[in-house]
Amino acid sequence: MKAELISVGTELLLGHTIDTDAAYASRELAAAGVDVLRRFTVGDNPARLEETLRLALSQSDLVILIGGLGPTKDDLTKEIAAAVCGRQLVPHEESRRRIEEYFKGRPLGETQWKQAMLPEGCDVLENNRGTAPGCVFSAPNGSLVALLPGPPSECEPMIRDQLMPYLHRFCGGAIASLMVRTFGIGEGSAAERAADFLEMQNPTVAPYAKESEMFFRVTAKAASEQEAREQCAAVARRLCGRLGSFVYDVNGDGTSQSCLENTVVRLLTEQGKTIAAAESCTGGLIAKRLTDVPGASAVLNMSFVTYSNEAKRRLLGVPEELLERYGAVSEEAARAMAEGVRRAAGSSLGLGVTGIAGPDGGTPEKPVGLVWIALSDGEETWVRRLSAPARFQPREKIRFRAASTALDMARRRLSGLPAEEKPV
């Protein structure tokens, strides 16, 4: 099956929005064995959208249009696609009901109903995260046309949970995939360790780097789903052996989201332990990531953002003299924060993070990007130091990597691994 993608939206052509949907769809299609020949990006311009859709239809078995299904006047994807394929737009009752429920009680503008108009005879892809449903229908030449909403929070689950199973009926056979997730090993080192895996044909192993992590997606095609799953599992096991303690998770979740926090919450829950953090430069990001995980309340009772020295002293009992002698960004301060927050929260593990996230506040001795991270379990305190040339590290990345490193230290402690492994 050959596919082309059309991303629709003037905000894309103006560069205000980066097109992550098209990349996501491309990955899912590639994993399912569908070749993406070409992608197009067009604005909210009816004539150009029509011309592009006709071109794509003439060359491929599947054309996926993403965006332009919303309530506003410049959302025209459905109208154009229906016209090109000679279909009327008709009201879809279930979608009307969903829109009503979504806005329950609030007054509803006429524009909202437009979202419940769908091409006659289409198969509907439900939108569980928003009001614009997706749909699939065939063009006069027999090619399939799929329409998907633009917001990634709606588009990605619709691709994963609805479009891909729908397409599997057309692709023949079954497919399964597993994601092997690592932290702490660079893209180059990981790819070297896994070099022979990346050459495999079926299952395939595809690497990708995300934030400070590195994932490998193992995908197998087979006659039955179970067979595909077994082939995946066997390759994933061998790959994990190669990647060692850097692997923090293996699962079937197709998202590329980081989930170090899921692993930490799971390990804490299994072991009946709790955690608390004292965050300076990460400013709540560690607590936020832990509480992103449903059920985090069983393992986190409280956590602290201690930006000022006063907060470190008063809430964590970090001695004034220590802060004066070594400074708030120091190994000693991180250690005292981790030990202090563990006592203050009465938790099994305590994390302390202090550093310079920038863009200001760096000095030659303590440059932007320097972060100290400590983990205390009441018996021992581990400390790690991060640094990086500032020009490669915007504030957001410094903070994210520091939070990930803290979470990974907790994972390693809870798994009985050494605090740190050096990638060779």
CA distances for 87 relative to 67, 77, 96, angstroms: 19, 13, 20
Listed ranges 140-148, 230-238, 262-270, 356-364: which one lies at the site for a second copy (CB under 8 A): 356-364
Among 133, 184, 203, 254, binds a second copy (CB under 8 A): 254
Residue from 138, 291, 330, 381 touching a second copy (CB under 8 A): that is 291
- Residue 236: Cβ within 10 Å count: 24
Please report whether residue 396 would count as binding a second copy according to CB under 8 A. yes
Q: Which is nearer to a second copy, 141 or 297 (CB)?
A: 297
Applying CB under 8 A, among 283, 327, 362, 367 the residue interacting with a second copy is 283
Phi then psi dihedrals of residue 130, to 5 deg: -165, -165
CB of 416 to a second copy, least distance (A): 27
Element (H, E) at 135: strand 134-138
What does the per-residue mask of binding to a second copy show for 185-224, with x meaning CB under 8 A?
--xxx-xx--x--x-------xxxx-------x-------
Give the range of 77-85, 181-189, 236-244, 408-416 binding a second copy by CB under 8 A.
Answer: 181-189
- The C-alpha atoms of residue 30 and residue 23 are separated, in whole angstroms, by 10
| Residues binding a second copy: number (CB under 8 A) | 107
- Cβ contact 268:414 at 8 Å: yes
Q: Is 421 in the site for a second copy (CB under 8 A)?
A: no
Tokens of 38: 């070409």
Q: Which is nearer to a second copy, 138 or 269 (CB)?
A: 269
CA dist., res. 374 & res. 380, Å (int): 10
246 part of the interface to a second copy, by CB under 8 A = no
Q: Is 262 in the site for a second copy (CB under 8 A)?
A: no
Q: Which stretch binds a second copy (CB under 8 A): 117-125, 277-285, 335-343, 413-421?
A: 277-285
Peptide bond into 359 cis (omega under 30): yes
Smallest distance from the beta carbon of 157 to a second copy, in angstroms?
9
Intra-chain end-to-end CA distance of the chain, in Å = 41
**Crossing angle for the helix pair 260-271 and 395-414, nearest 10 degrees?**
30
* Residue list 23-52, contact with a second copy (CB under 8 A): 23-30, 36-43, 45, 48, 52
Q: Which of 123, 245, 307, 330 binds a second copy (CB under 8 A)?
A: 307
Q: Are strands 144-148 and 134-138 parallel, antiparallel or unpaired?
A: antiparallel
Tell me which of 143, 256, 348, 405 binds a second copy, using CB under 8 A: 256
Query: Within positions 85 to 144, which residues make up the interface with a second copy, using CB under 8 A?
Result: 101-102, 104, 107-109, 111-112, 128-130
Residue 403: phi, psi to the nearest 5?
A: -65, -40
What is the sign, positive or negative, of the torsion defined by CA atoms of 290, 294, 299, 301? positive
Total length of the chain: 424
Sheet holding 381-386, edge to edge: 275-279, 349-355, 371-376, 381-386
Binding mask 50-79 vs a second copy (x if CB under 8 A, - otherwise)? --x--x--------------xxxxx-----
Q: How far is the CB of 57 from a second copy (least distance, A)?
A: 15
